[in-house]
Amino acid sequence: MQRHLRAVPVGRSTPTSKQSVVTGGECSCASSNRAWTVEEGSTTVLVWSTTVDFMDERLAERTPHQPAIERRMAPPSPMLHPSAFLVPPVVRSNPQPLPPPVPPATRTGSILDRHPVAPPISITHERSITGELAQELWGAYLENLEPLAEVAVLRHLDSHEEMLAQFANPRILKLVAWQGARPVGLGMVTNSLEDVAEISPAFLRVKYPEHAARNAIYVGMLMMVSPDQRSHTAFSRLYLELWQVPARAGGILVFDVCDFNRETFGVDEMSRRIASNFARSSVEVLDRQTWYVAHLPEPLLDERRR
């Protein structure tokens, strides 16, 4: 098959023109001196924007089977210009289909799908708790308060019957913290002073007569949170909600803490921080039960002489 390559001038361009224009089967390459058209049959295979020197090299490289190329060119120009290379598109005889998209069911999902966020904490007010929930809270009560038997003198752990009676007592408000359907915390508060066996109602009524007249003396009986939630917000939220109960009545809240919990959890600072959320609030020590120990390795001297 014969190949016909022809280069002819198509006109002079402006000195600032530096572009290649492809139209149909020819390419007009504009230099600062002259534009050239390069054709090969009806398909343009190579487009150059260059000087006449390159065209001289192109003529010298022609093969014997190519016909002579007609030259009607201007004198060589010393100015060099950028080049453009045009590659004809590749046409596949048997195009391969694209792979089908991955079905959603087989995708691995995002990191949030693989590591779902724990359900948020919610708090409910319960007057009477019985049945399965009472037994579940009893188990949580043991988990939280049994360790205090070895670190505090005062008995903190009530019996199973005593706790079930308090759970069912409607005069004692129970605040249950939930994570989804699982109870993770419990607070108990009441203004029925006779239902709190550890206190003297008469002492509180004499010390706070105005609050006693409005039945606005509240006692915090219990505050516990599951161990896996103690470093999260459940404890603070439950504590705030419990304090809100006497605050709604313009009352006072009385609660006690053993020395172990006071030092371990920084109760003094925590109480001041919680109170700072309530306008015109304050926290003070009401009373202190101090346990003494006397070491007596030997009896009195008079008894030795007997």
- Residues 271 and 105: their CA atoms lie apart, in Å, by 51
Per-residue pLDDT of the chain (306 residues), as tens digits, is 444 444 444 444 444 444 444 434 444 444 444 444 444 444 444 444 444 455 555 555 555 555 544 444 555 555 544 554 455 555 556 666 777 766 655 555 666 566 556 678 899 999 999 999 999 999 999 888 888 778 777 777 889 999 999 999 999 999 999 988 889 899 999 999 999 999 999 999 999 999 999 999 999 999 998 877 665 677 888 989 999 999 999 999 999 888 877 888 788 888 888 899 999 999 999 998 888 899 999 888 876 666
- The tally of CA atoms less than 13 A away on the side-chain side of residue 128 is 7
- Write b or e for each residue in 66-94: b if 16 or more Cβ atoms lie within 10 A of its Cβ, otherwise e: eeeeeeebeeeeeeebeeeeeeeeeeeee
Of the candidates 201, 231, 207, 206, the residue with the CA atom closest to the CA atom of residue 219: 201
Does the CA dihedral 41-47-48-49 come out positive or negative? Answer: positive
Q: What's the pLDDT score for residue 58?
A: 55
- Token pair for residue 204? 């509180």
Burial label for 145, CB within 10 Å (0-12, 13-18, 19+), is: middle
Q: Find all residues with CB under 8 Å of 208, minimum gap 6, and list them.
A: 217, 252
Q: What's the pLDDT score for residue 271?
A: 87
- Residues 236 and 34: their CA atoms lie apart, in Å, by 84
Q: How far is CA 302 from CA 294, 296, 298, 299, in A?
A: 20, 15, 12, 9
Domain spanning 121-275: CATH superfamily: Gcn5-related N-acetyltransferase (GNAT) (3.40.630.30)
Q: Find tokens 């004198």 and name the residue.
A: 75
Q: Is the entire prediction scored with pTM above 0.75?
A: no
Q: How far is CA 47 from CA 5, 40, 75, 82, 163, in A?
A: 12, 11, 20, 12, 94
Per domain, the residue ranges of the chain are 1-87, 121-275
Q: What's the pLDDT score for residue 111?
A: 62
Q: Assess contact for 222 and 169: CB atoms under 8 A.
A: no
Other CB atoms within 10 Å distance of the CB of residue 256: 16
